[in-house]
Chains A and B, each alone.
Chain A
Amino acid sequence: MKKTFTAMVVAFFVAAPAFAEGALNIYNWGNYTSPEMIEKFEKDYDVNVTITDYDSNDTALAKIKAGGHGFDIVVPSGTYIPIFVGEGLLMELDPSEFKNFGNIDARWMDVAFDPGRKYSVPWQWGTVGVTVNTSVYGGDINDAALVFDPPEELKGKINVVPEMNDVMGMAIHYVGGETCTGDKDVLKKVRDVLVEAKKNWLSMDYGNIEKYAKGDLAAGVNWNGASMRARMQNKDIAFGYPKTGYPVWMDNAAILADAQNVDNAKLFIDFIMEPENAAMLSKFARYANGISRSEEFMPDDMKSAPEIVVPTEVKDAAYIAETCPPEVSKIYTQIWTELQK
């Protein structure tokens, strides 16, 4: 053990000068960056990559806003890209500098949070839907009512991830509203539905893969990747896409306005748009990426996974999560606090 440590220290000091010219500091969600892909990048370009983790968009935003962070790349969710851009934290990209820019899937090219992809490129995307244990409930699973007006057999066995925007969004669409609506009548309905539904919820918690797999939970609002991992432990777990509407999110890589290693950051942005490399990201994080032709390089169990491949009948129900204006957000927070009281 000690010997390994010494060797590592020695390797560090010996290796450091060799990499001195090429460094890249990535600031990304924890457990989200494929080590295999990073290794390949380091080898191809002779760049030493350092990865720092964060656990929420708000953490990342606060730290970068404070300055003096030393990061080159950040990976915020689409809902946060306009905030980052508005605060002047991201560097504008010139598509002509990236040979792989054309690989971005047309669907992810002209997104509302970054029209024309001026500041960011796709990293991973996923959906928020309902996870259901089909041995407990045998009916249609593409229904938000399983959480918002649950059948008898699911009551008291429901978990809702405490992501305000995702849950509020799903509830707004459930009562027939639009994304980021400020319509008081709709929001009143949303509040009543949520307050009534909460009585049937067991918890509002993040870590839940084990609990679904072991049967403590039978249904709930969840992310597709987490649901897939629960299914890999228990084949009864299924992922439903509410036909009234379900949010689609995307995390996006961007270069920070005050990046120190701009050239390497650009190399990296181009690198992750290469289908083979994007597939490595997906293989690790178990979400889809927004790069065309990356499917060819994906592991087989993901090509057909119902959590990744959205069934055609619910494809149109998807809506892209947006950044709601502050005055609307304020109302959402009030409803959310009331829900959790």
Chain B
Amino acid sequence: MNDLARTRERRESRNRWLLLTPALVILIFAASGPLLITLVYSFLTAGDYGGIKWDFSTDAWFNVFFQRDIFDDTLSFADAHLSIFWRSVKLSLLTTLGAIVLGFPTAYFIATRPKHHRDFWMLLIMIPFWTNLLIRTFAVMELIRNEGTLNTLLMAISVIDAPLQILFSETAIIIGMLYVYLPLMVLPLYASMERLDFSLIEAGYDLYASRLAVLRRIILPLVKPGLIAGSILVFVPSLGAYVTPRVMGGGKQLMLGNLIELQFGQGRNWPLGAALSITLLAIVMVALLFYVRVAGRERGGHG
């Protein structure tokens, strides 16, 4: 009996590995492989006309954070790179914050509709998501450009008399990313709100809790997993965004994605581009570790 159980267990474990193999192969070759190449490249010397030379060098990593002044040869922090890092983090945080402010009420609204209506509302959130990213970005651009819908409307009702210059600014990048990534906030929030036991909220009101107290002490703690998952889902792609800052920022406000592209293209410095990519990965990793820590503590506290 015991033997039989062990054999079955062994067979099951083998089957599990067999079933996992395709996924593992893809992970190893399509995810880890390129990553490894990127890592190796970041320690090589840049070829004169793009590409790399097989000479070990830490120049690329040095140049991520420091620069030798081209004119007086003094060493200083790589001001250009650091300000682009900072802009990327700042804009991504603001986008995440905006997504919470807009996404939370939206998800709550949908979760409190009668069950058979919810699908319809979710569909409205999902439909833009089916459209190509570039097309969505250009659509937003059409809305906020000087001769666009928003400015024409505001001028027609005489709120302003000269068009607002929104396009090609950091605000434009935030608006663009907010629109593109909002569904990624609404979906997990909705998923955790749908499971919310609304009798708890009623109980709160029965015990004379104010609306704010109910939100803070009942709803927020219960939907926190969804909120954190949504924030990560918005923050991470915002950090690496390429198309949106390119189109909405008018190429004048680089974000990390654009800086990396520059190194592989006109900059002809592949190792630096590789080192910057790994740095971006590290920033994302820190954000995820933070998430794991917070989520882990939550679980530990309740257990």
Contact = CB atoms under 8 A, between A and B. Distances in A.
Name the residue among B84, B252, B262 with the largest chain A CB count within 10 angstroms: B252
A58 B265 contact: yes
B80 A337 contact: yes
Interface stretch (A141-149, A197-205, A223-231): A197-205
A48 to B, nearest CB: 32
Contacts of B79: 338, 341
Contacts of A203: 168, 250-252
Interface stretch (B47-55, B99-107, B278-286): B47-55
A324 B80 CA distance: 23
B147 A333 contact: no
A156 B84 CA distance: 22
Contact of A205 (B71, B80, B250, B269): B250
A303 interface: no
B221 interface: no
Nearest to A337: B80
A331 B267 contact: no
Interface string A27-44: 000000000000000000
- Per DSSP, chain B at the interface is loop
Given A58-B265, A333-B266, A337-B259, A216 B250 contact: no
B265 A201 contact: no
A22 B251 CA distance: 44
Name the residue among A165, A188, A336, A338 with the largest chain B CB count within 10 angstroms: A338
Name the residue among A164, A202, A340 with the largest chain B CB count within 10 angstroms: A340
Contacts of A337: 80-81, 254, 259, 262, 267
Contacts of A56: 265
B50 A62 contact: yes
Contacts of A340: 80, 251-252, 254, 258, 262
Contacts of B84: 341
A333 to B, nearest CB: 5
A341 B269 CA distance: 17
- Per DSSP, chain A at the interface is helix
Nearest to A326: B48
A198 B80 CA distance: 15
Contact of A333 (B48, B51, B268): B268
A66 to B, nearest CB: 9
Name the residue among A83, A86, A162 with the largest chain B CB count within 10 angstroms: A162
B165 interface: yes
Interface residues of B, number: 30
B78 to A, nearest CB: 9
Contacts of B165: 156, 202
Contact of B147 (A83, A201, A216): A216
B171 interface: no
A334 B254 CA distance: 14
A171 to B, nearest CB: 15
B212 to A, nearest CB: 42
Contact of B252 (A164, A201, A215): A201
A335 B70 contact: yes
Nearest to A333: B267
B71 A184 contact: yes
A189 B63 CA distance: 23
In this complex, the interface size class of chain A, counting residues with CB under 8 Å from chain B, is: 35 or more
B49 A341 contact: no
Contacts of B252: 198, 201-204, 340
Contacts of A83: 49
A313 interface: no
B251 A205 contact: yes
Contacts of A341: 79-81, 83-84, 254
Contacts of B265: 56, 58
A20 B208 CA distance: 85
A86 B250 CA distance: 35
A209 to B, nearest CB: 15
A317 to B, nearest CB: 25
Interface string A62-75: 10010000000000
Interface in B141-163: 145-147
B67 interface: yes
Contacts of B145: 216
A30 B262 CA distance: 21
A338 B251 contact: no
A234 interface: no
Contacts of A331: 70
A61 interface: yes
B281 to A, nearest CB: 20
Given A204-B251, A205-B250, A331-B70, 14 more contacts: A58-B50, A58-B266, A86-B49, A163-B266, A198-B252, A203-B252, A215-B147, A216-B146, A329-B268, A333-B268, A337-B259, A338-B79, A338-B80, A340-B254
15 contacts: A58-B50, A58-B264, A184-B71, A187-B70, A198-B252, A205-B168, A215-B147, A216-B145, A329-B268, A333-B269, A334-B67, A334-B70, A336-B266, A341-B80, A341-B81
- Nearest first, the 4 closest Cβ-Cβ pairs linking A and B are A203-B250, A204-B251, A341-B80, A326-B48
Interface of B: 48-51, 67, 70-71, 79-81, 83-84, 145-147, 165, 168, 250-252, 254, 258-259, 262, 264-269
